[in-house]
Amino acid sequence: MSDIIHLLPDSVANQIAAGEVVQRPASVVKELVENALDAHATEITIAIIDAGRTSIQISDNGVGMSETDARMAFERHATSKISEASDIFKIRSMGFRGEALASIAAVSQTELRTRQKDAELGTKIIIAGSKVESQEADACQQGTTFTVKNLFYNTPARRKFLKSNQTEFNYILAEIYQTALANPEVTFTIIKDGSLYAKYPKGNHLQRIVNIFGKQMEKGLIPIEDESSIVKIYGYIGVPEMARKTGANQFFFVNNRFFRQKSFLGSVMRAYGNLLPQKEYPPFFIFMEIDPAEIDVNIHPTKTEIKFSEEFNICQLLEATIKCTLGKNNIVPSIDFSDSADYSDMFSFKKSDPIQPPTITYNPSYNPFKTQDSGCYPNTKTNERNWEKLFEDYQTNKKENQQLLEFSSNLNSDSETNQPTVEFCTQIQKKYILAFVDGKIYIIDIKRAHYRLLYDKFHDNFCHERVPSQKTLIPVRIDLTANETESLKTILPQLQELGFDIEEFGKNSFVVNGVPSDIDITDTQQIICDFISNFEEANQTIKDSVQEHIARTLAKSASLFRNPTMNKDEMAQFVTQVIQNKSFTITPEGQIVTIIIEPEDLLKKFN
Ligand code: ADP
Ligand code: MG
């Protein structure tokens, strides 16, 4: 019998290998951008046509390649980044397998133009389905440009499996975000179907995050930092209000490489604990620096999973760092009266309050059920370090309180009847109001209550057809990211029906000439950005009538962003407002807004 085993031709072997490396246009973008970074580029331009089906072009100003290297680069296992197996444990470069270019060239028509700094002429190579079609000298710019055309042209089954252009482009953006976030010192330009889609100029990590995800993200981020002998951790985490049910922006990087890790995600979620509603996820951008010998990036060809030899210890450090950061920023879990924590923040602090040395005082005749003008109890257990912070909070919250007051008084005017009597009220951790009203104890979640009020107001507005719009004296310009711009354009007609008067104003900018009367024009940028992301999220999960949907998302976007500190009058007015609202016990989604305790319930408890 004759022998039947033979070696596969390179082109076939490469095509098979390409199945691992090149799954979709986004994989090509990822590999080529990583190569550009490894070539020390400081400017990278990514031009995409038809979501990468027709063409993907990546240009860089990196070191370029010699004529021989340019030809060699397309060979399988050809790399300049490692020479022996042990090098895998010292890796600082993004690539090292030497597979990407061979794989890409096997399933596309690829053109490479490259020139090294001191070379007079560069090289141009055209290669299709692994076959070199031409190679010639080329007067190109310093650096490298790859143009990958007609991806999967010779593997029609794979081309057929590509998703819609929108989906494939989103995959590409996700890849770009990962690399752009890890490399803020590099300028990225994205060109989509011939026109500029986005440009991220070089800057620091925070500037890059804001460039990509918009200004509203910045307000909800707090920095984290921790350095130990095992790992250096730094970056930004979102305040609980930024948490989302879907599509939270969560990024881990180690040595400038994006990765996913379930155990680290678990640590982050444990650190937030019950600060987050169920199934909501905070955004985070967490960077780690670690000795490359302590990680193994050689797990998966697409390299988003990484093995850490100190995984357990890093989990502990991560959890501790985040917990500590949340604590330092006064973002603390809901009150637990059983431990001996410092509750100095529990009582609201008024600018006019005299500052007293820390003493414990008590009023033996105090009875919360007796009508009295006790209002906020004096700040009896105060911690000197917190005075300044409380005062700052008071100042920053003043504007929001003003809005709340105006809002309350607007509504109050139509329903003066049956005014409840607020006999006593105080704030707990700025989050809740504890009030004694008409013989009952109320504990009100401030933000949820504000959301409920706005929701009912918007809902009523819909029932009365026209939504009043307030024209602004000076139009407000808002700048959005490319993604937000696309989303806003699709929901612009609905917003106009609601009383928003918004016009396009150049690329990624809009001018707001009017807003519904319940919205503060100065917050328009943030409200619109939040509205876009909430609206999109809600789209996937709620199938309500359009009006219901808009009332919810708009109320959510316009409701208080941070927990306010209120003075006694503000609190009393707010409590009255909440209790007079037709529904104040739950949010439209069924979350508890108000807990009511009747005195009889207390009697039962003491029996
Ligand atoms: P790897 O990145 O794993 O080494 P690739 O197939 O992606 O493998 O690239 C092969 C080689 O081609 C690289 O090691 C590098 O020397 C060279 N190369 C690829 N892209 C560029 C670029 N943009 N600039 C300079 N050299 C490059
Ligand atoms: Mg590579």
Ligand nearest to the CA of 80: 1
Residues with a CB atom less than 6 Å from ligand 1: 31, 35-36, 39, 60, 62-65, 73, 78-81, 95-101, 144
Ligand nearest to the CA of 73: 1
In the reported structure, the alpha carbon of residue 228 is separated from the centroid of ligand 1 by a whole-number distance in angstroms of: 34
In the reported structure, the alpha carbon of residue 311 is separated from the centroid of ligand 2 by a whole-number distance in angstroms of: 27
Band the pLDDT of 392: cuts 50, 70, 90. very low
In the reported structure, the alpha carbon of residue 144 is separated from the centroid of ligand 1 by a whole-number distance in angstroms of: 10
User: Domain map of the chain by residue range?
Assistant: 10-203, 213-328, 360-406, 415-607
- Minimum mean pLDDT range among 112-126, 130-144, 340-354, 570-584: 340-354
Task: Name the residue among 342, 334, 338 with its Cα closest to residue 276.
Answer: 334
Q: Over the stretch 309-318, which tens digit does the pLDDT of each residue have? A: 999 999 999 9
Range with the largest mean pLDDT of 264-278, 355-369, 559-573, 581-595: 264-278
**Helix, strand, coil shares of the chain as percentages rounded to 5?**
40, 25, 40
- Minimum mean pLDDT range among 4-18, 331-345, 358-372, 541-555: 331-345
In the reported structure, the alpha carbon of residue 11 is separated from the centroid of ligand 1 by a whole-number distance in angstroms of: 19
Q: What Å distances lie between residue 379 and 176, 353, 356, 371, 428, CA to CA? A: 51, 8, 8, 21, 12
In the reported structure, the alpha carbon of residue 170 is separated from the centroid of ligand 2 by a whole-number distance in angstroms of: 22
Q: What is the DSSP letter of 336?
A: -
Q: Whose CA is nearest to atom 21 of ligand 1?
A: 35
Is the pLDDT score of 550 beyond 60? Answer: yes
Is the pLDDT score of 141 beyond 70? Answer: yes
Six-digit token pair at 7?
């070696």
From 56, 101, 125, 147, give the residue whose CB has the most ligand 1 atoms within 8 Å, as the site to mutate. Answer: 101
**Phi, psi of 361, rounded to the nearest 5 degrees:** -120, 155
Atom nearest to 64 CA in ligand 1: 25
Q: Whose CA is nearest to atom 20 of ligand 1?
A: 35
pLDDT of residue 394: 37
What average pLDDT does the structure give for the chain? 79
Q: 249 Cβ partners below 8 Å, 6+ apart?
A: 213, 217, 283, 284, 285
Q: What Å distances lie between residue 606 and 299, 368, 384, 441, 442, CA to CA? A: 61, 16, 37, 16, 19
From 38, 40, 140, give the residue whose CB has the most ligand 1 atoms within 8 Å, as the site to mutate. Answer: 38
Instruction: Write down the residue that tokens 């752009």 correspond to.
Output: 180
Ligand nearest to the CA of 44: 1
Ligand nearest to the CA of 113: 1
276 vs 244: CA distance, rounded Å: 10
Q: Whose CA is nearest to atom 19 of ligand 1?
A: 35
Q: Whose CA is nearest to atom 14 of ligand 1?
A: 79
In the reported structure, the alpha carbon of residue 96 is separated from the centroid of ligand 1 by a whole-number distance in angstroms of: 9
From 29, 35, 44, give the residue whose CB has the most ligand 1 atoms within 8 Å, as the site to mutate. Answer: 35
In the reported structure, the alpha carbon of residue 250 is separated from the centroid of ligand 1 by a whole-number distance in angstroms of: 29
Band the pLDDT of 465: cuts 50, 70, 90. low
Amino acid identity for residue 590 in this structure: G
Atom nearest to 102 CA in ligand 1: 6
Is the pLDDT score of 109 beyond 70? Answer: yes
Ligand nearest to the CA of 96: 1
Atom nearest to 98 CA in ligand 1: 8
Band the pLDDT of 78: cuts 50, 70, 90. confident
Instruction: Write down the residue that tokens 């996937």 correspond to.
Output: 540
221 vs 213: CA distance, rounded Å: 12
End-to-end CA distance of the chain: 96
293 vs 189: CA distance, rounded Å: 33
Handedness of CA 239, 240, 242, 246 (dihedral sign): positive
Query: What fold does the segment set 213-328 form as a domain?
Result: Ribosomal Protein S5; domain 2 (3.30.230)
Which of the pair, 286 or 540, is modelled with greater confidence? 286
Band the pLDDT of 49: cuts 50, 70, 90. very high
Q: What Å distances lie between residue 68 and 33, 64, 126, CA to CA? A: 22, 12, 14
Query: What fold does the segment set 415-607 form as a domain?
Result: Ribosomal Protein S8; Chain: A, domain 1 (3.30.1370)
Q: 214 Cβ partners below 8 Å, 6+ apart?
A: 480, 481, 484, 529
To the nearest 10°, report the CA torsion of 490, 494, 496, 500: -90
What percentage of the chain reaches a pLDDT higher than 90?
Answer: 39
Range with the largest mean pLDDT of 455-464, 512-521, 583-592: 583-592
Strands of 232-238's sheet, edge to edge? Answer: 221-227, 232-238, 284-289, 250-254, 257-259
In the reported structure, the alpha carbon of residue 79 is separated from the centroid of ligand 1 by a whole-number distance in angstroms of: 6
Q: 263 Cβ partners below 8 Å, 6+ apart?
A: 311, 315
Q: With a threshold of 0.85, does the pTM exceed it?
A: no
141 vs 119: CA distance, rounded Å: 10
Q: For the residues 145-164, what does the mean pLDDT come to?
A: 93
Domain at 10-203: CATH code:
3.30.565.10
Atom nearest to 94 CA in ligand 1: 2
Helix (H, G, I), strand (E, B) or coil at 489: helix
Q: Whose CA is nearest to atom 8 of ligand 1?
A: 98
pLDDT of residue 501: 84
Q: Whose CA is nearest to atom 1 of ligand 1?
A: 98
In the reported structure, the alpha carbon of residue 160 is separated from the centroid of ligand 1 by a whole-number distance in angstroms of: 29
Q: Over the stretch 79-107, which tens digit does the pLDDT of each residue have? A: 877 777 777 677 777 877 788 999 999 99
A 10 A CB-CB count for 21 gives 22
Q: Whose CA is nearest to atom 16 of ligand 1?
A: 80
Q: What is the DSSP letter of 510?
A: E
pLDDT of residue 375: 34
Is the pLDDT score of 505 beyond 70? Answer: yes
pLDDT of residue 150: 97
pLDDT of residue 467: 56
- Sequence-separated contacts (24+) of 5-13 with Cβ below 8 Å: 10/76, 10/130, 11/106, 11/129, 11/130, 11/131, 13/76
Atom nearest to 78 CA in ligand 1: 10
Atom nearest to 104 CA in ligand 1: 6
In the reported structure, the alpha carbon of residue 60 is separated from the centroid of ligand 2 by a whole-number distance in angstroms of: 14
Q: Whose CA is nearest to atom 25 of ligand 1?
A: 64
**Phi, psi of 374, rounded to the nearest 5 degrees:** -80, -25
Which of the pair, 406 or 445, is modelled with greater confidence? 445
Q: For the residues 412-423, what does the mean pLDDT come to?
A: 63
Q: 230 Cβ partners below 8 Å, 6+ apart?
A: 290, 294, 310, 313, 314, 317
Ligand nearest to the CA of 77: 1
From 66, 68, 79, give the residue whose CB has the most ligand 1 atoms within 8 Å, as the site to mutate. Answer: 79
In the reported structure, the alpha carbon of residue 8 is separated from the centroid of ligand 2 by a whole-number distance in angstroms of: 24
In the reported structure, the alpha carbon of residue 297 is separated from the centroid of ligand 1 by a whole-number distance in angstroms of: 18
> Within the chain, how many helices (H) and strands (E) appear?
17, 22
Q: What is the DSSP letter of 308?
A: E
Q: What Å distances lie between residue 205 and 171, 208, 225, 526, CA to CA? A: 22, 5, 13, 21
